Structure 1
């Protein structure tokens, strides 16, 4: 199996310290935790959390990341809600999850 094929059978979930919030727009709220960020919070009065704005697709996907649903399950719900007219729903979903993983905002359950 390829890495992408393996990813489809895994169940992603948000890491501790990463939450979804909403004021006018949805966003990820990420706590700043490493030592450099803590120094910037203390000495430069930086905010203790980062806000990453989400579009409707991102908000939907992040809302599905409970550690129980596989990527294939999420794809199915994604297609039900947004459609798949250009046959790229899975590619978009996988790319979004790869970005979340690269930023260390999700973890995977097997």
Structure 2
């Protein structure tokens, strides 16, 4: 079928525990700027339609997403060396009760990042395999 993309290991991802998954920011994010009030994600407009909107409609060349303190702390840890469970523990230690309800918020935040193509998942077995091959 034309235009049909099968889901990448959808069954395999559904069968894994979210707390064991390892989030990794995609290379679509060109710059992560750290500011005093939080992190700003900068996403350049790369598709043909986006480039036309920049040229003809005078849209900005990049989309900026300003994150609060909690979002900034989560995004800073999505570099591929910590699982969601470890990130949740660190966030709870740092923010305490201000982050509650932590796990539903964290799951929804990562779901939104993934839906927008900003986050991919690496399983904990892949990370362990990468560590073993690096030695």
Q: Does 2:33 correspond to 1:21?
A: yes
Higher RCO (C-alpha under 8 Å, 6+ residues apart): 1
Equivalent positions of 1:1-110 (< 5 A) are: 3=14, 6-18=17-29, 19-23=31-35, 25=37, 26-84=39-97, 88-110=101-123
Q: Report the TM-score, using the length of structure 2 for normalisation.
A: 0.71
Cα gap change, 1:62 to 1:4, in 2 (>3 Å): farther
* C-alpha RMSD of matched pairs (Å): 2.3
Question: Is there any run of 5+ residues in structure 2 with no aligned partner, and where?
Answer: 1-12, 124-135
Superimposed CA distance per residue, residues 19-40 of structure 1 (whole angstroms, 9 cap, x where no aligned partner): 3214554311112122110111
Task: Give the length in aligned residue pairs.
Answer: 109
- The structure with the largest alpha-carbon Rg is 2
Q: Report the TM-score, using the length of structure 1 for normalisation.
A: 0.85
